[in-house]
Amino acid sequence: MPANDKLKEQIVHLPHKPGIYKFFDDHGIIYVGKAVDIRKRVSSYFNRSAQHNKKTLKLVSQIKHIEFTIVDTEADAFLLENNLIKQYQPKYNILLKDGKTYPYICIVNERFPRVISTRNKKNDGSRYFGPYPSVTTMYVVLDLIRTLYPLRTCTYNLSPENIAAGKFKVCLEYHIGNCKGPCEALVDETEYNANISQIKNILSGNLSVAKSYFKEHMAAAAADYQYELAHKYKQKLDMLEDFQAKSTVVSNTLTNIDVFTITSNEQCAFINYLKVMNGSIILTQSLELEKKLDEEDADILASVVVQLRQEFESTSREVISNIELRLPLDNITITYPQIGDKKKLLSLSLKNALYLRKEREGRQEKNKELGEQRELRVLETLKKDLRLTELPRQIECFDNSNFQGDNPVASMVCFKNGKPSKKDYRHFNIKTVVGPDDFASMYEIVTRRYRRLLDENQPLPQLIIIDGGKGQLGMAVKAMRDLGIYGQVAVVGIAKRLEEIFYPGDSLPLYIDKKSESLKLIQRLRNEAHRFAITFHRSKRDAGTLKTELTDIKGIGPSTSEALLKKYRSVKKLRELSLEELTAEVGKAKATVLFNHLHSSV
């Protein structure tokens, strides 16, 4: 799509340097992109020979202004783009906007630390582990820790002075064995902190330290004939090994690796993320992202990798992927394994992404089938209620609109298989009728609509609905008789007051059950035709007012008025333009006249 003069001027002044660019419409930022060469990349959007899809063409049609930021390297552009997308959430950028705040396990920075769950990460010296994409997984880990290690849950200030003063007493948690009573100095602080150190190892994915500790103490207790204590250590060791067995162990040689895989169709991309620590998968996340433009899988995945690594605070230096990926980030190695444990890990991740895709596509197909069945059922009900001879797969509804006799217009909306077919909607300017004559207007628009279909050998609808009573219906029937199609197409009228359905030549109306799906479909057609007509009428009325006001300004002729009218539609929008912007539209002399007039009349 070619750029207008204003955008061309902006593009000419874009630099041949790396950075980011921002596209604006009248309301704000609609797209943020990165580029090695800003001018080349932005120019490509307006290249006539480029094969853009419909979404991209729609984006380009809405661009009113372009801004850019130069950076030193491609890596800087990559990170800046990511941050701006999260900040502004432009409607044409793919966004990870699930709105979730993931939970953490926190070792609180205090004497005799507590281990708690939280969603609020504070900069208070506490140690946070996570975030966990699954609350259930987080509580499994938290329950394991609280079972292995007796920790306090109270929020007392256990300073040496407070404990020495005897301010606190042990609670029920102490008596049932869940806490060792640090509030009364019943546990040594060094011993308590040793447990906290082991908990940190477990939460970091390193279970070997805790396992070694329990094994050594179990053996020591058994050697000292303390068999009951040895049994307790064995139970804790069994719990750790059971927890590790339930984790997906891939290989003890793999540590601190991120795995990202992607598969996509025309509408969506499906991504899986696995985080591996000490040979086990400690985190997994699957995402479905709706495509906004004609994004390539590599571009989508590169953006997601940065966002998820930030979200889950990954420090891994190796990323495994199923597609070729460019991450212009320092100290990151990207591998595409073909054999071995890493290949198995990659296959597992891709299996999850493919499963999500299959599940979503299956659900969409099922919903589509259910929707089609429902639409068919509604049409069958309508056929029965209106006593039609064939299923009304195409229904057209007509409505008139005028305001105190001015600017009479009409509309026709078309539903196919029970759904709006907006490409078949039509507006009509009334040409042969003078004044507010709804009957004559209905005759004109019905005649024009079906004469054209007949001339072009287009199929006729199975049902015509006239918004109005007997008078409008009668004129529609007369138009159909004159065209020779009366009897070929069913036609009814609907009166607004009591939702009565009228048949040609029948003085008694039909009343359809107010809860009937078929009446709701008729009402929907009627309301849509009315909305379409009113919108058209309002735009004509506003345009007429604007045109009159502009042509009354000395020095502003009809051609200038038409051009401004077509682009801006209202005086309010024109008044928002600066003198420089008006000059770009109509030249300095006319812009000065127009600007002074608009702002003197405020």
3-state secondary structure 480-514: HHHHCCECCEEEEEEECCCCEEECCCCCCCECCCC
For the segment 316-335, what is each residue's pLDDT rounded down to a tens digit? 889 999 999 888 777 888 99
Tell me if residue 418 falls in helix, strand or coil: coil
The confidence band for 183, taking pLDDT boundaries of 50, 70 and 90, is very high
Collect all residues with Cβ–Cβ distance below 8 Å to 597 and sequence separation of at least 6.
Answer: 553
Q: What is the pLDDT of residue 201?
A: 81
Cα–Cα distance for residue pair 437/49, rounded to 1 Å: 50
The confidence band for 198, taking pLDDT boundaries of 50, 70 and 90, is confident
Q: Check whether 296 has a pLDDT greater than 80.
A: yes
* Pick from 196-210, 537-551, 586-600: least confident: 537-551
- Which has more confidence, 367 or 496? 367
Burial track 125-138 (b if 16+ CB lie within 10 A, e otherwise): ebbebbbbbeeeeb
Q: What is the pLDDT of residue 476?
A: 93
Cα–Cα distance for residue pair 36/68, rounded to 1 Å: 12
Q: What average pLDDT does the segment 151-169 reach? A: 90
The confidence band for 447, taking pLDDT boundaries of 50, 70 and 90, is very high
**CB 331 within 8 Å of CB 317:** yes
Tokens of 9: 């001027």
C-alpha dist (Å) from residue 247 to 117, 244, 284, 496? 21, 5, 11, 65
Q: What is the pLDDT of residue 249?
A: 54
Tokens of 415: 């539903």
Q: Is 27 left (phi over 0), alpha (psi -120 to 50) or beta?
A: alpha
Q: What is the pLDDT of residue 602?
A: 44
* Pick from 55-59, 135-139, 415-419: least confident: 135-139
- Which has more confidence, 600 or 98? 600
C-alpha dist (Å) from residue 495 to 237, 249, 510? 79, 70, 11
Mean pLDDT (the chain, rounded): 83
Tell me if residue 299 falls in helix, strand or coil: helix
Q: Check whether 246 has a pLDDT greater than 60.
A: no
Q: What average pLDDT does the segment 118-141 reach? A: 80
Tokens of 102: 């993931």
Q: Check whether 537 has a pLDDT greater than 60.
A: no
Q: What angle do CA 260, 262, 264 make, to 5 degrees?
A: 165
Cα–Cα distance for residue pair 132/105, rounded to 1 Å: 8
Q: Check whether 560 has a pLDDT greater than 80.
A: no
Q: What average pLDDT does the segment 45-64 reach? A: 82
Cα–Cα distance for residue pair 79/76, rounded to 1 Å: 5
Q: What is the pLDDT of residue 263?
A: 94
**φ, ψ dihedrals at 414, nearest 5°:** -130, 130
Q: What is the pLDDT of residue 586?
A: 79
Q: Check whether 2 has a pLDDT greater than 80.
A: no
**CB 527 within 8 Å of CB 503:** no
pTM passes above 0.85: no
Q: What is the pLDDT of residue 290?
A: 86
With pLDDT > 70 as the criterion, what percentage of the chain qualifies? 89
Q: What average pLDDT does the segment 223-244 reach? A: 79
**CB 385 within 8 Å of CB 520:** no
Q: What is the pLDDT of residue 531?
A: 86
Q: Is the peptide bond before 182 cis (omega within 30 degrees of 0)?
A: no
Q: Check whether 499 has a pLDDT greater than 70.
A: yes
Q: What average pLDDT does the segment 275-291 reach? A: 80
For the segment 381-428, what is each residue's pLDDT rounded down to a tens digit? 999 889 899 999 999 999 887 544 456 778 899 999 988 998 999 888
Q: What is the pLDDT of residue 433?
A: 72
Q: What is the pLDDT of residue 452?
A: 92
Q: Check whether 348 has a pLDDT greater than 50.
A: yes
Q: Check whether 568 has a pLDDT greater than 80.
A: no
Q: Check whether 173 has a pLDDT greater than 60.
A: yes
Q: What average pLDDT does the segment 347-362 reach? A: 88
For the segment 259-272, what is each residue's pLDDT rounded down to a tens digit? 999 999 888 899 99
- Most confidently modeled of 290-304, 378-392, 584-598? 378-392
Collect all residues with Cβ–Cβ distance below 8 Å to 136 and sequence separation of at least 6.
Answer: none
Q: What is the pLDDT of residue 286?
A: 84
With pLDDT > 90 as the criterion, what percentage of the chain qualifies? 20
